[in-house]
Each structure stands twice: as C-alpha cells, then as structure tokens.
A and B are shown apart, each in its own frame.
Chain A
C-alpha cells in the first residue's frame, strides 16, 4: 500500500516535471489574420459573430463554457449552485480580480452588468436572461439571482458573452445621456477583466491587444497569464492573401480557411492546419406554406420534401463543397450541441425511394422551384448547382437565384422565398437556442418556413422549465425526432472551424461556439 502510493507519488512528480520540462515560452506578439474586422466591442449591444468570437479576450463572464463547448467551468465565479426548484442561483465571486485599469472588480459591478444585460431595452441578447427577476449581492463575494420561473438554461446563459462583467464606474463616467451613447464611447477603449486589453484599433486594418498586467489567472509556469505580450488582429479579407501571409511568415494564424485549401495546408510542413469542432450546421431551408404567391406550394407536401431529402446525396455534397471536411448531419443541431440525439446520417441517399415518394406525392410529374443563394459565395453555388443536378432526377427543375445577403434576408423574413441556403452556429452551450429558431414556431415561424408542429411547440415550452436533465434530454430527443423526419429543411452537413496556424503556435483554441481563445496561447521561440 505504502509502496503503491510512493510509486504513484513519484509518477506524479515525474509527470509534473515532464509538464514543466515541456518549457513553454513567454512573450512575443501573435498576429492573427481575420477575414473581417470587429464592429462594436460591447458585450450587451453587439450583434455579430465578428465581435462575439473575440470579445472573450477582453471581457469575461462569471462562468465559462468548457473547451468542448458541452459543459461549464469557473470564470469570474469560482462556484455556483442552482437551488432544487430551479429558481435561484448563488454564485461565489473569485477573489482579487481586477479590471485592466487596475480597479478591483466588485459585486456592484457584477450586479450592474447583469442588470444591464437583462434589460429588455438593451440589444438583442437580453432574452437569454429573461427568467431573471432580481440580481442582488448579500455580501461582497456573493451574487444571488432570483428567477421568475425555473430555468434550466440559466447557468449556460451566465457563460454567454452578454453577461460579461464590466466596470460600472468607468462605464458611467463616459460622455453621453443614454446607455447606447456611453457604450459607443466605452467600446472604443474597453475595460474588462480579460487576459488582454485593447491598445489601438485602426478600423478595417489592425486591432492591437496587449497583455492585461492585472490578469487574475496563472499559467503552468506559475506566472500570470497570458503568455503572449500582445495579440494583433490583422484584417485580410481575401482568403488567398490571408493564406499567403501565413505561409510567408507575416502572420501566425489565419481564420476561415476555405475548405478547398484545407488538404493543401495540411500537407504544408510549416503549417498546423486545425479543424476545431464547431456547432456550425448547413441546411436548405424550405418554405412550407400551403400557398405561395397565390398558388399551391408543392414544397408544403411532406412526401415531396422527403423525396428531395433522399435524392440529395449528402456524401457527395460533403466531398464537392467541403472537400471532405464536413460530416453529414444526424440531427438538425450539430453533434457538438448538448442533448443532440440521432446516430446515423439523416435521409441517406436513396434515389429509388425518392422516386417512389415523388410518385406517391401530390406532384408526381415534378415542378419548378427556386433557391436563394448569396451571390459570389462559392459554397452556396456548389451546394445549389449539385442539388440542381440531383433533383432533376426526381423531376424538380431548380432555378438558382443569386442575391446579396440583405436581399435574401428580406425575402426570408417576409416568407416569400421558396428555398434558401442557411447556416447556423450556437451562441450558448444548450439545445434551446437552435431549437427555438429552427423548430419552435412562435420565435420566427420555424426559420420563417411556416412549419408548425403543436407537439414540438409544447415540448419546447416544457423543456424551458424542466429542471430534470434526463427528462429534458427526452423532450429534446422527441423534438429532434419530429423535426428531423418532417421539418422544413434539407439537412446538409456540419463543419468544423478551419484555422491555419504557424508551427510555433501552441495553446490556441476555437471552441464549438466559435470563441477564439488566446488566454493560454504561446509562441515557441
């Protein structure tokens, strides 16, 4: 017994020394090539992934999503409890946390930040905290959330960017009469508790972040994080140029590598071609309203949609469009979403079945229809031209209409489109967000498709109050079963985030929600 524990101890020491022998290097500035610039660095009022996916380097939340995007880990709160009835959360704040300007983070800052985030007048993310009735701080290290009703998503919601903690006094000292005006000033030189702080921002060109000297966490070497002295985002919109700059050593990382170049960069000995698991799913969204433009809509026929699904060869699409990088979908939500269910690919290619379904449908002779795609988007064009060929086999004549994004969104929101391509990524590590948009009709008419299923709507409402995890998983399983079989989409595939890094880059991660995390990134010398 004694011997065993001694062996375990020496093994642990060995392992420990092994880790420190791995000798990470500190210092240096990493330049990361982005396809477009951020717009507005306010956690509450922003509305775009270009902000959301980098803001965690400046601002932090009480709870953080884990690296696999499925669970939660401590952030500015070290521990938390959700009471049994699910209507109160108590969080313990981390001690000694300072903002990048050196002022200590207080419970007052936390209460104010959460109140600002949940204010229905502020931005588009307040729905995430809609269940919160009151935020209080009984003592300087404790935060209490009283909820209006049991909310199984509340802890995940506290890990979403909009509930990040901001310094109340510094924010309120900004010029301007309204929250919006103050936020616009504050976001020019944001102050947060994150590992980096904004040094300068040359719009459309470079955003320079430097190490926050007051950061609370320590690295593996016992010294304060982050390892990097600085982090520069360089805006390089052209994919080919972004890759060229990485290959020539001007930059250390490049995001959004086109699928077509992934294999080539994997073979490049000077580059680490990473495919970080994402929550990104790609679909064709179908308008299923019984009538369109005063005429009967063949796409409202369930058999027609099933035929189209069986006739769409997803394996071929994965090869043609994603060059093998993607995976056919097994549910409408990505396999990285908590409570995802479904094991095999949906509607595996079966032309005979598709033909017989068409024959049984109300439109055995086929019909003409159209699909909206983004002009100039190669993925969209690849998907739709392939579908055009595949659906010709079952008598469907598909017209491809290329429009710009804003035009497509308008037709989408008006419900006047026939079909369109669509992509989605989760903002929260929970199945509720994607389900709310895809399947729950009150949100946006199930992707503006006009699809409605009473059972799904009821199950979703129940799932939003169900505190029993197993029961909640069952509810989502049933929702997925119904939607996957009869829903208004052609589920295509899910894809990872393709990021190319220099060989000297270590410890960088993009989590499934899309956040780029440079907290523990270091450059080997």
Chain B
C-alpha cells in the first residue's frame, strides 16, 4: 500500500518535470544560432528560400504563438513532423529509441556482471595483489575514451578475429544482440569501473560495521553474511549511482552509436541538433526525459526494497 502511493506520488511529480523540460528545450533549441532553413540549405541559401521555408514551418510567428501550437499538438499526442526527414517524429522515435534502450540495457547488465563479483574480490582481498590488479585494470577502462576503446574492440574482435560484426545493427532480434555486444561492452567498461570502485568501498564499509561483526560472532556462514547482510547494505548507494549512470550511459550511446554505425536515438539526436530539426529535438528530449525519470523511479523502488526507510 505504502509502495503504491509512493509510485503514484512519483508519477505525479513527473508531470511538472516534463512540462518544465518541454519549455526549456523549446526555448533552448530556438536560442541556438541559425535556423532550420539555413541548416537545410547551408551556405547557398538565398534569402527568399529561407523566408519561404521558415514561413512553411511556422517559424515566422512569435515564440509564444509557436509554443502554444506546439503544446497543443503535444497534448493531443502529436509530436509533429521532422523537418529534414519529412516523417512523423513519433514514428522516428519508435524506430530508433528502442535500439538505444536495448544498447543501454545490455551495457548496464554487462557492467553489473563485471562490477559486482570483482568488487567483492577486491574488497575481500583488500590491499592484496588481486585488489590492485582489479582496480588497476578498471582504472584503464575508466580513463580510455569511449570512441577509442570502441575502435580498438572493433579492430581486434571485429576485423581481425572476426568474432563479432564490424559495426551495424543486423536483422532480427538475436542478430541485433550479436551486433550490440561490442558497443555495449564499450559502454559498460567505464560504467563498471565506476560501479566497482563504489561497491568495493561500500563493501569495505559494511564489512567493518558492528552488525556484520555481530553476525560473524553468532557463527553465521560467511556466504550468508555476504549475501544477506553485506551485499544488501552495500548495494544501497551503488544502486543510486547506477540509476544516475543510466542517464550518462544514454549520453555515451551517442558516440558509441556513431563508432559502431548503430542507427539509434543518440545519432538521431545529434543529427537533429546540427540540422536544427526542432520537432525531433523536442520529441526526443521528451522521450528521453520520460525514460530517465522512469529509470530513477525504478532505482528508487529497488532502493526502497533494499532499505524500506527510503520510501517513507
């Protein structure tokens, strides 16, 4: 019951947040120098053509009028049409955002699979060789630029060894997973480094806590202590960090999608910003804002499950 009202409260909070984002992105994208017509026509734009296109797009009207038109159409579920691609924005988002979500989810899973066991190894062998090796290796992962790491993985595991495709997205779900593995790994390495360090520190903090010493004194089996007491408590802060990192991961997807030639939302966003394709930038921002908000909600729910005090 408690949880249900918590969720409802959080979903209601989402409404003003989205409205705020809507206004901010609407204004910001128009504050950028240049307009869609110039972006479309480039250097050769003639004044008459620019005026004609701006008129066709309704950009010759005042900002409040434009916003009213935009808000009205969003309220009816219509995100408008892409200026460059001449397609409905909703259609574009439906085609490309799931690719980015899949990539992000895969990256997050890989990151967790790396980070959790290794954090334990490092924490339990604190100060010894295993700890140094794990931390050193992850330091490299953390400091390597994503595009460079991506290219190395592509060259070695794609072109040289032929284990994975050299970029692209493939056909069919399993093929998509196969194509997304290297890019997801690229994204995952830096995230897992951050998670690992955080979790390692948290585990070390918990291991020395009195309730763990008490559990140990009671003679509980070490495995049980680790899973029931140490992991659960150590995870609280790491889960929060993980949730926050999803936003970063989505941002990192932009570069990864470019390097690996994946037709995801990140690339669409960048192209649309450069092209001043206002409707796409607006629609994608809203979609991403919803996505990130839902991730945060999910994070909070997991935290609440780990630590019931959070939901209060």
Contact = CB atoms under 8 A, between A and B. Distances in A.
Say whether A and B bind each other: yes
Given A245-B166, A437-B44, A204 B268 contact: yes
B38 interface: yes
Contacts of A413: 38, 45, 47, 50
B69 interface: no
B34 A409 contact: yes
Contacts of A124: 41, 44, 46, 49
Nearest to A181: B86
Interface in B130-170: 147, 151, 154-155, 158-159, 162, 165-169
Interface in B39-79: 39-47, 49-50, 56
Interface stretch (A231-239, A387-395, A473-481): A231-239
Interface in A168-202: 180, 184, 187, 202
Contacts of B87: 203
A405 B84 CA distance: 16
A280 to B, nearest CB: 13
A39 B162 CA distance: 33
Contacts of B276: 406
Contacts, number: 121
A244 B158 contact: yes
A250 B44 contact: no
A109 interface: no
Interface string A347-360: 00000000000000
Contact of A409 (B45, B158, B167, B263): B45
Contacts of A203: 85, 87, 92, 95-96, 263
Interface in A393-447: 403-413, 422, 437, 443-444
A238 B255 CA distance: 10
Contacts of A331: none
Nearest to B165: A250
B261 interface: yes
B33 A204 contact: no
A49 to B, nearest CB: 9
A240 interface: yes
A13 interface: no
Contacts of B42: 48, 405, 409
A407 B41 CA distance: 13
A409 B56 CA distance: 20
Interface size class of B (residues with CB under 8 A): 35 or more
A409 B43 CA distance: 6
B166 A405 contact: no
A9 interface: no
A184 B158 contact: no
A407 B86 contact: no
Contacts of A238: 147, 151, 167, 258-261
B267 interface: yes
B49 A244 contact: no
Most chain B CB within 10 A, of A184, A202, A244, A408, is at A244
Contacts of B44: 124, 437, 444
Contacts of A234: 168, 261
Given A205-B168, A405-B39, A406-B33, 8 more contacts: A40-B85, A124-B41, A203-B92, A203-B263, A235-B263, A236-B167, A241-B154, A406-B276
Top 5 A-B residue pairs of the complex, sorted by shortest distance between their CB atoms? A406-B34, A205-B263, A204-B263, A407-B33, A236-B261
20 contacts: A36-B271, A124-B41, A180-B56, A187-B86, A202-B263, A204-B263, A234-B261, A235-B261, A237-B267, A238-B167, A238-B259, A242-B261, A248-B158, A406-B35, A406-B276, A409-B43, A409-B45, A410-B34, A411-B33, A444-B44
Interface of A: 36, 39-40, 47-48, 124, 180, 184, 187, 202-205, 234-238, 240-242, 244-245, 247-248, 250, 403-413, 422, 437, 443-444
Interface of B: 32-35, 38-47, 49-50, 56, 84-87, 92, 95-96, 147, 151, 154-155, 158-159, 162, 165-169, 258-261, 263, 267-268, 271, 274-276
